[in-house]
Copies of this chain bind each other. A is one copy, B any other.
């Protein structure tokens, strides 16, 4: 037993920004992820990638998204009473995910719409960026979060 009560939609604050920490993907993690889910040559073939457009292996955009989601769940969404994601309105892949380069996550609550009696639609802006560079990922997503039960 514990006293953990997840945050409801009414507890969230528009404009609030949360640091969700850092993750550093190894070359092995990048190649393993892409081998399973996105086996394009520039994600999985070191020799071809080195000779190619980016001069080396870059991570799958879905891997960037998965890294963001893990950081966000572990360090923020686990404290919210989330029902499920509903849509992702925009993902910009503005720079490549590179092996051994730490990427740092931030989440901003952009909007809260009290759409149903039992839940609200919460819009978040997420970012993943290296310490000294431009974002590799920005994502705007809508999720349903439970409202406080007044019955």
Residues of A bordering B, CB below 8 Å: 36-40, 42, 53-54, 58, 60-62, 65-67, 69-70, 73-74, 77-78, 82-93, 96
Contacts and interface: CB of A to CB of B under 8 A. Distances in A.
Nearest to A142: B93
A98 to B, nearest CB: 13
Q: How many copies does the complex hold?
A: 2
Contacts of A60: 69
A1 to B, nearest CB: 15
A8 to B, nearest CB: 14
Contacts of A74: 39
B54 A37 contact: no
A78 B41 CA distance: 9
